[in-house]
A and B are shown apart, each in its own frame.
Chain A
Amino acid sequence: MGRTPGSRRPDITREPDAEFWREDLRMGQYDDVRSARVDPAAFRKRLAQRITGAAAMKVVASELGVRKPVSHKDLLDALAEEATLATHLLLVAEFAQFKRDAPIADVVDLALPEAVRAGIRSEAGRYDRLAALLHLYLDDRDWLRYVFGLNEWHRKGSVPMVLAGQSGAPFRPFAEFVRDPAEVEHAVWEARKRHPARRLTFEQVIPRDDGRFLLVARHEVRRDHLRRPDDGRLEHGYREDLLFLHFAVDGTAVDLVGEPTALVAAVADEVARACFRSRDCRYVPDRQRATDEAIQAFLRAATDPEDPRRVALVEVMVTSSPLPGHSRLLLTGEEPAAVIADVLHIEGTYGSLFEDLDAVEWVKVLHAGNRWRLTFPRPGDARLVQYMDGGVDKRKCRQFEAYLNEHFGLVARPSDKAAPGLPAGATA
């Protein structure tokens, strides 16, 4: 896909494109929605279930050419009459199910003008998911491919890497190189040649609003089988997993998503080698040292009952507690105040929980509504601060990292347990 989307409206007078919905967006519901039209009453009910909210109704009204204020029920009745248009919109509504806020916000910020964005933004600053996707789809259906890719990417934990062994300037600016699908596809193909047992295919390159690029590749992981819904026959194939490589603008760093990490790193290495024309290029884990003192200062702030509660301890696991028996101790709760009171009690009565950071298996802190699990591993001689980013979208992760850096001088990175080249147990 070499084109950057923008103002190529899908033809809504024709039936939706099966290949786009079924293959690119992995929407099995395509067949359900098409066959649901046989029963108009059931189709009308499904429309009412899925297409809700004032902002989405506005889009429906403008598509139907309705100028006057009309009740939502009448609008949906009118929409049900226009079966082809209704199928398009219903597919978008089905696509909106189980999508996170962050990928939609990413693409909306990249694609839509501020006038449209203001119309679908709630008071809390969030976008109405369905209305946003309808606007994106009607602007250019390829925006939905980006939403699909970014949704998978935001969902998974990443491993940060930095470039090593690179000498000299790239023969072509990295940003220009990585946005060229032919070049990237070739790199993926090279990686597939090196790992013949792995079935790798280039999917797409997603531009990000900060000038960076997200490379998406498909990895067919293992054999699997499924039953076809219509005739119940067995369909044999491969279960797929998407791999993501989020490159820095100049290519000196990359965040890898997907397993095994060594395979994703191999793709990244091929991209760097092709761009820098050097066989020695490879990405190594991004290790940012932290001092024990800075970590202690952070833990003190997190257990301070009077600190304005921007970061508060909600869980700690220590291998060797200060209690008389030195048992492994897990203190956890939902209310930070209660957990902090217990930590202070134990510290005041028996001794410090955090004095020896090697004995702290993990802590969880509450920040911006999320429970962040932090570990302080020491592979070799450097103390690291790592956090589990699985399930938390990347926007929040960046904000959390920025917060730790600004207030405590800590450079936290997502946990690299899976990073290649680590000796076993190095992060324990």
Chain B
Amino acid sequence: MKARPAPAEDEARIVAPLLDDGRVIDWPRPEQESWLARLEGDLGLVSVRRTTFFLCVDPRDPESQVHAPDPDCRGRIPFDRDSAPSDPLRCDACGHEHWPRERPRTLYPRVIVSARLASAAALVERGVRAIDRRARPLGDAPAWRLALGRKETIACLLDGCLGTEFETDEFCRAHPVLHVVAARRLHADRMGGAPWIRALPLAELVVEGVEGLRRRLGELAGAAYPYAAAAGPARVHLPVRPEHAAALAAVRAAERAPGPAPWDEQYRVAGVAVVTSAQPRLIAIVRHLAAVRAEEVRRGRGAADYRWLSALDIAVALDDLVGPLRRGADNATNEETVDRYIRTVNRDAHDALAAAGREDALDGPLIESRTERDEEGTVRQYALSPRLA
């Protein structure tokens, strides 16, 4: 550790927040402004939106102190002279009403940064190609294999490689991979951890340029790969936002129907998607049972007298919802097929909850069954677990 940080580190500390997606910077300092101009104009790594705001209570506007209900209010109220309506604005913190057009206020600059991942990938590629002109892209992800002396290394933009093998622990242990990280705070957990996980924050790449990339890759080339499996459990990284947001967004997109459909999330229990099977029939069974349950609740029936459905009822409903059941090689009847589907649903749900560590959310099967006796013998009936309602 040096006594005094090198200028490059200082610069990287300035640049790093400027690359954060959605970062709001009030009163940007001159050095931030000059870096923003470079990041936006020369490198295209971010796009910058400039707007203004005023302070709810501003010592520079003595009038604002006279009228304030809370003289200590720290509220900052966004106001754009060109686009703001002529009606008064309200402070979100104290509720005070402001008329910035009638009673002019001191406006301060605000900068809102949004990151552009495509340009970050292009920057990494330019660096990689400056080191090895014949670097080879690996698949569709922003990852490149390049030769450094006699060793081969891989450089990738981590943010573009989520969900690919390049981000996995096993791959990093086996191959010399350098992760360039744009969303540094999301991936903070992987920096400074295991020796085989090497990360280069995008800010440092911007400040140090190709030389920084060359130095980091050189360290990789000198390391002893592959690393042995760790003694303890493999380092599991925290879930990454874009991945989960995308998964949840996909679920919601599938659910989105014209008008509210109150029960369409019923195959999620305690926030865990329990029926993840790609088979639409499994989803359809759960949905149908949920719809029946919703109907019962609407009629005001209690848990004790919910309607139970037989396998035949469900098979008929499935016929309407997703088409006729196919007869498998085992020549099973429709009822047997439905029985099998329900066993699969229950097994999947149990596994999903166990994987998420939420077994406590459901003490029993997702779809419960009971045997009823009628004039032809016994018949098996099903209903959604009452604990879900």
Residues of A within 8 A of B (CB): 97-98, 100-102, 126, 129, 155, 291, 293-294, 296-298, 300-301, 303-307, 322, 332, 334-335, 337-338, 341, 344-345, 347-352, 355, 369, 371, 390-391, 393, 407-409
Contacts and interface: CB of A to CB of B under 8 A. Distances in A.
Contacts of A349: 238-239, 244
Given A300-B255, A304-B252, A349-B239, A391 B245 contact: no
B263 interface: yes
B97 interface: yes
A139 B117 CA distance: 61
B4 to A, nearest CB: 37
Interface in B76-115: 78, 85-88, 90, 92, 95, 97, 99, 102, 112
Contacts of A334: 24, 78
B262 A101 contact: no
Interface of B: 22, 24, 78, 85-88, 90, 92, 95, 97, 99, 102, 112, 238-239, 241, 244-245, 247-249, 252-253, 255-256, 259-263, 265, 270-271, 294
A105 B253 CA distance: 40
Contacts of A293: 260, 262-263, 294
Nearest to B21: A338
A305 B261 CA distance: 18
Main secondary structure of the interface of B (DSSP, over half): loop
A306 B262 contact: no
A294 B247 contact: no
Contacts of A390: 95
Contact of B270 (A155, A338, A351): A351
A101 B99 CA distance: 13
B262 A297 contact: yes
Contacts of A303: 252
Contacts of A350: 271
Contact of A297 (B238, B248, B261, B271): B261
10 contacts: A296-B265, A301-B260, A304-B253, A306-B249, A334-B78, A344-B248, A345-B241, A347-B271, A351-B270, A407-B259
Given A341-B241, A371-B92, A305 B86 contact: no
A390 B97 CA distance: 10
Contacts of B256: 304, 306-307
Contact of A345 (B86, B95, B245, B263): B245
B185 to A, nearest CB: 12
4 closest cross-chain pairs (CB), A and B:
A293-B262, A348-B244, A297-B260, A351-B271
Contact of A338 (B22, B85, B87, B265): B22
Contacts of B86: 101, 126, 129
Contact of B239 (A300, A306, A348, A371): A348
B245 A409 contact: no
A325 to B, nearest CB: 16
A237 to B, nearest CB: 21
Contact of B102 (A98, A296, A298): A98
Contacts of A305: 245, 249, 252
A344 B242 CA distance: 9
B73 to A, nearest CB: 15
Given A101-B86, A291-B262, A391-B97, A322 B249 contact: no
A391 B90 contact: yes
Contacts of A337: 22
Nearest to A126: B86
Nearest to B242: A341
A294 B239 contact: no
Given A129-B86, A390-B95, A347 B22 contact: no
B87 A322 contact: no
Nearest to B49: A335
B271 A355 contact: yes
Nearest to A340: B245
A303 B260 CA distance: 14
A412 B389 CA distance: 25
A287 B122 CA distance: 58
B113 to A, nearest CB: 11
A391 B77 CA distance: 15
Contacts of B249: 304-306, 344
A100 B87 contact: yes
Contacts of B261: 297
Contacts of A101: 85-87
B243 to A, nearest CB: 8
Nearest to B243: A348
Contacts of B244: 344-345, 348-349
A291 to B, nearest CB: 7
A230 B95 CA distance: 34
A90 to B, nearest CB: 16
A11 to B, nearest CB: 30
A300 B22 contact: no
Contacts of B95: 390-391
Contacts of A301: 260
Nearest to B84: A369
A140 B92 CA distance: 39
Given A129-B86, A335-B22, A348-B239, A296 B252 contact: no
A344 B261 CA distance: 20
B260 A393 contact: no
Contacts of B241: 341, 345
A322 B356 CA distance: 14
A354 B168 CA distance: 32
Contact of B271 (A332, A352, A407): A352
Given A97-B102, A409-B260, A322 B85 contact: no
Contacts of B239: 345, 348-349
A301 to B, nearest CB: 8
A74 to B, nearest CB: 27
Nearest to A409: B260
Given A334-B24, A345-B239, 19 more contacts: A98-B102, A100-B88, A101-B87, A155-B97, A293-B262, A293-B263, A294-B260, A297-B260, A297-B261, A298-B260, A303-B252, A304-B253, A322-B271, A341-B245, A348-B244, A348-B245, A352-B271, A391-B88, A407-B259
